[in-house]
Amino acid sequence: MSLSTLCLHCGMCCDGTLFTHVPLQPNESASLTQRGLPLTAREDGTVVLPQPCAALNGRCCTVYTERPEACRRYRCQLLNALAEGEVSLDEAKGVVDAAHARVEAVTRALSPMEGGPSSLRQARAAAATLEPQAREALTQAEAFLDRHFRGRFRRSG
Ligand code: SF4
Ligand code: SF4
């Protein structure tokens, strides 16, 4: 069973659901820029790859063999649990589906708000001003993502 089967079902560590950016090593910027990927310079002088990642096509990384070291190293808690046999692939896919559903519940709760936030990222930025239903959906989505995905970092070997 290939662990990438789960990631091709998920994409949430690339599409902006879990992270806002990928930290880059100093020597990684040039090749990504050459591939046409927009990078962001931060106030501290570092350069990052913003998310949703422009290299993501659907749930597939289009620069997979040349992806940054941080992408190579990253495994979410769920992928670690799958690798260690704590969950089956079907169970893990079910958790991913449940996470996607919670994220969609946030955007659904936002949609009636004319001119308001329309994505998970915008909802996070405007969390203090959200209507109660949207705020509750955001709270539930973040708790689910924390519980099943965020957390341990490990080399993927
Ligand atoms: S969040 Fe986890 S399961 Fe989803 S693509 Fe990233 S490493 Fe794979
Ligand atoms: S470079 Fe590839 S692995 Fe890294 S965030 Fe972008 S799509 Fe994901």
pLDDT the model gives residue 154: 36
pLDDT the model gives residue 155: 29
Can you tell me which atom of ligand 2 is nearest the CA of 32?
Answer: 1
Q: Tell me if 6 is assigned to some domain.
A: no
Chosen domain end from 44, 73, 102: 73
Please tell me whether residues 64 and 93 are part of one structural domain. Answer: no
Instruction: Tell me the pTM.
Output: 0.90
Integer Cα distance of 17 and 136 in angstroms = 17
Residues lining ligand 2, judged by CB closer than 6 Å? 14, 22, 53, 55-56, 61, 63, 67-68, 71
In a mutational test of the pocket of ligand 1, which residue from 1, 4, 9, 10 has the highest number of ligand atoms less than 8 Å from its CB?
Answer: 10
Mean pLDDT of 139-150: 95
- Whether the per-residue pLDDT at 136 is higher than 60: the answer is yes
CA atoms within 13 A of residue 61's CA, in its CB half-sphere: 19
Which ligand has the nearest atom to the CA of 72?
A: 2
Please tell me whether residues 68 and 94 are part of one structural domain. Answer: no
pLDDT the model gives residue 156: 32
In a mutational test of the pocket of ligand 1, which residue from 9, 13, 53 has the highest number of ligand atoms less than 8 Å from its CB?
Answer: 13
Provide the domain limits for residue 101.
Answer: 77-148
**Cis ω for the linkage preceding 52 (within 30 of 0):** yes
Give the percent of the chain with pLDDT over 90: 87
The first and second tokens of residue 21, run together, are 């950016």
Q: Tell me if 9 is assigned to some domain.
A: no
pLDDT the model gives residue 113: 62
pLDDT the model gives residue 153: 44
Please tell me whether residues 56 and 99 are part of one structural domain. Answer: no
**Confidence band, pLDDT 50/70/90 cuts, at residue 93:** very high
Assign 11 to helix, strand or coil: coil
Can you tell me which atom of ligand 1 is nearest the CA of 8?
Answer: 5
Strand partners, 60: 57
Please tell me whether residues 69 and 120 are part of one structural domain. Answer: no
Q: Whose CA is nearest to atom 3 of ligand 1?
A: 7
Specify whether the CB–CB gap between 92 and 81 falls below 8 A: yes
Please tell me whether residues 30 and 60 are part of one structural domain. Answer: yes
Chosen domain end from 73, 96, 112: 73
Integer Cα distance of 32 and 63 in angstroms = 9
State the total domains in the chain: 2
Q: Which residue has the higher pLDDT, 115 or 101?
A: 101
Specify whether the CB–CB gap between 35 and 53 falls below 8 A: no
- Whether the per-residue pLDDT at 36 is higher than 90: the answer is yes
Q: Tell me if 142 is assigned to some domain.
A: yes
Alpha carbon of 128 to ligand 2 centroid (Å): 30
